Amino acid sequence: MTKYIFITGGVCSSLGKGIAASSIGAILEAMCYKVAMQKIDPYLNVDAGTMSPYQHGEVYVTDDGAETDLDLGNYARFTDSELSKLSSITTGKVYLNVIERERRGDYLGKTVQVIPHVTSEIQRLIRSLSDKVNPDVQIVEIGGTVGDIESIPFLEAAREFSLSNKNNTIFIHLTLIPKIEVAGEYKTKPTQHSVGVLRQIGIVPDIIMTRISGTLSKEMKRKIAMFCSIAEEDVFEAPDVDSIYKLPIIYTQQGLQDKIALKLSLASNKPNLKKWEEIISIVDSKKPKISIAVVGKYIKLQDSYKSVYEALRHAAIANKVELNIMKIDSEEIEKNPENLTKVINQADGILVPGGFGSRGIEGKLAIIQIAREKKIPYFGICLGMQCMVIEYARNVLKIADANSSEFTETSNPVIHLMEDQYSIDRKGGTMRLGVYECNIKKGTLAEKIYGENIIFERHRHRYEFNNKYEDQFEKAGLIISGKYITKNLVEIVEYKDNPFGIGVQFHPEFKSKPFKPHPIFKSFIENAYKYNIEKK
């Protein structure tokens, strides 16, 4: 029978609930339990696909093509749980289902209400994941902050759910203990208030985890325990860390695993955290430093390229190098060419990630041209691959007006909209999404990197390489090394004469884990390190 852990957050957002949930998932897997992870987002969007990265950061994509909150990326990096459309619940999705059912007449004349109809649908969606995956433990992270109006139906659903799953459900509440600088004191009051709000809804947390910049003293624990009506030993510390991958170890050192096991009546297996210890020992060791420039337009928001940054970190761990990520706004490059020189002089590798729209494209093209000419390792992802193709067309094939039809009308759309996209008249869930097969050509860099000829990677885009130009590109030295044969779509391109210059139409960053880096990222960092040594 599946056990459930609901994770809620109090005081404010951005406390790292997703990372805490992921770390708990990792610990349970290290205890040999099968884990399922699920995220609830209380917004009205049906999925994250139509939102700008400026709203909630990156859109994470699963194999089955769900466009989800970036926390699913954390789940994927920390655990081996199976992620799919069932892993993500939003208010939009819940209401869409309820309203469709109402229109069909399924409610048999009843007044359709938040309680019980919406809360029942939420519980049905929670159970639908357990039914499919059959996990030992399902972790359900409720997004937002306790006290938000939007969260209330979900908290009520979780409360009802716990009543019908007594002894098999616990609540973990993550809060913040702020430090009031002028008084030099940590304050537990906001925690007390947020637990108070939870209790008004009828939920008493089983465990409280406190995000704190310093150490959680015995006195603070005592206070929280007393005011929140829980045992002192059920209060845990969620400290600030220099690497999030330390958290599974830090939590186990405090005995969180035994507490969870006890409360869920699970055997308290000793967690095997060897793989986490191994990567942490590399993270903490002294290593040669390399710099990677990530050139995009959503640079200002930390979370917009979350999976890309993490995949770079995983590859740096695998190559035992210290990684300096230079976050470069492509529009700044357009505004001031001096910025370009600075980046080029410092970077050991250049990565252009995915994106949408024409803003900042010329800056990206300028930096890609230099990367190609100076043979600086280059890695283009999705839009970064499309830009690699456009730059090559303009400067090597000498097609001056080469462009993507996403950005402008042109007589030479080397990147264009696929035919089956023409008739689509709405944005949500209509891109080429999810996993596709890719056949890799023999004797190419891609084959060397993957070590195999059939690979599977995830997609999220509308535009494609225009096959009309295939021969021209190949003759000029841009190798087409990967294709989705069924539809004859180009998936990977690479520079023939550079040690490392590759562009992929898919998103490899979604499949990288700290102890299992994605092979392209691993090879990119390896080549950047080589470039760093040679340039000295």
Residues lying near ligand GLN in the complex (CB under 6 A) are found at 354-356, 382-383, 406, 460-463
Q: How far is the CB of 473 from ligand GLN (least distance, A)?
A: 18
Is the Cβ of residue 279 or residue 350 nearer to ligand GLN in the bound state? 350
**Alpha-carbon distances of 342 from 288, 327, 337, 528, rounded to whole Å:** 21, 13, 9, 17
- Beta bridge pairs of residue 89: 40
What backbone phi and psi angles, to 5 degrees, belong to 236? -120, 160
Q: Which of 56, 173, 507, 518 is catalytic?
A: 507
Q: How far is the CB of 207 from ligand GLN (least distance, A)?
A: 38
Q: Which of 228, 382, 387, 438 is catalytic?
A: 382
**DSSP letters of 103-133?**
HHTTTTTPPP-IIIIIHHHHHHHHHHHHHHH
Q: How far is the CB of 433 from ligand GLN (least distance, A)?
A: 10
Q: How many CB atoms lie within 10 A of CB 2?
A: 19
Q: Which of 82, 457, 509, 526 is catalytic?
A: 509
Beta strands in 155-305 (DSSP E): 169-177, 179-180, 185-186, 207-212, 235-239, 289-296
Is the Cβ of residue 17 or residue 459 nearer to ligand GLN in the bound state? 459
Strand 463-465 with 413-417, pairing: antiparallel
Is the Cβ of residue 236 or residue 524 nearer to ligand GLN in the bound state? 524
Q: How many CB atoms lie within 10 A of CB 526?
A: 18
Q: How far is the CB of 314 from ligand GLN (least distance, A)?
A: 20
Is the Cβ of residue 5 or residue 59 nearer to ligand GLN in the bound state? 59
Is the Cβ of residue 14 or residue 430 nearer to ligand GLN in the bound state? 430
Active site residue 507: yes
Q: How far is the CB of 354 from ligand GLN (least distance, A)?
A: 3
Is the Cβ of residue 235 or residue 382 nearer to ligand GLN in the bound state? 382
The closest alpha carbon to 373, from 354, 391, 355, belongs to 391
Active site residue 438: no
What gap in Å lies between CA 104 and CA 187, rounded to an integer? 52
Q: Which residues lie closer than 8 Å to 15 by C-beta, 6 or more apart?
A: 9, 174, 175, 176, 211, 238
- Report the residue number whose CB is nearest to ligand GLN: 354
Is the Cβ of residue 70 or residue 382 nearer to ligand GLN in the bound state? 382
DSSP class of residue 270 equals P
Is the Cβ of residue 346 or residue 358 nearer to ligand GLN in the bound state? 358
Q: Which residue has the tokens 């969007």?
A: 45
Q: Which residues lie closer than 8 Å to 454 by C-beta, 6 or more apart?
A: 437, 438, 439, 440
Q: How far is the CB of 483 from ligand GLN (least distance, A)?
A: 17
Across the beta sheet with 235-239, what order do the strands follow? 88-90, 35-41, 137-142, 3-9, 169-177, 207-212, 235-239
* Angle between helix 519-535 and helix 306-319 axes, rounded to 10 deg: 60
Active site residue 387: no
**DSSP letters of 488-522?**
TEEEEEEETTSSSEEEESS-GGGG-BTTB--HHHH
Q: How far is the CB of 357 from ligand GLN (least distance, A)?
A: 7
The three-class DSSP label of residue 208 is strand
Q: Which residues lie closer than 8 Å to 383 by C-beta, 6 or more apart?
A: 352, 353, 354, 355, 356, 461
Residue 360's identity, in one-letter code, is G
Q: How far is the CB of 360 from ligand GLN (least distance, A)?
A: 12
With 0-12 CB in 10 A as exposed, 13-18 as middle and 19+ as buried, what is 400? exposed
Active-site residue list:
382, 507, 509
